[in-house]
Amino acid sequence: MTEKRFINDIDIGQLIDTKGELSTIDYSDKLDFYELWEFLNKLNDENEQLRQRNNRQYKQLNHLWTLMEKQDWESLTDMVEQMKKDEEQLQREWGTWGDVEND
């Protein structure tokens, strides 16, 4: 199981973001719902961007498979070059998304 991003320290009444993007919220007296609401909307936007990126990658892989079946080597070579450029772009973007595991 993955490490949890948020820790709830009920002894002191705080919600802690282990990635440090959200200020620790002290709810011993009250919860700052506005700050939490903004942060959750930001996470939702990032998730939507990731969904769209995954859909584009799925379509690209599907297209690659079709080209391989047809043995269209020229188009495949062009796509490999484009994929290298896209991978470089993704690596630059992922720098802002947190830790990325490299295989």
pLDDT at residue 24 tops 70: no
Contact in structure between 98 and 3 (CB atoms under 8 Å): no
For residue range 60-76, list pLDDT tens digits in order: 888 888 888 888 888 88
Paired tokens of 28: 């011993």
- Radius of gyration in angstroms for the set of CA atoms belonging to the chain, rounded to a whole number: 20
- pLDDT digits 0-9 by tens, 81-98: 888 888 888 888 877 555
Closest by CA to 99, choosing from 91, 86, 83, 7, is 91
Chain centre distance of CA 73: 32
How many angstroms separate the CA atoms of 25 and 78, rounded? 50
Structure tokens at 15: 């919600």
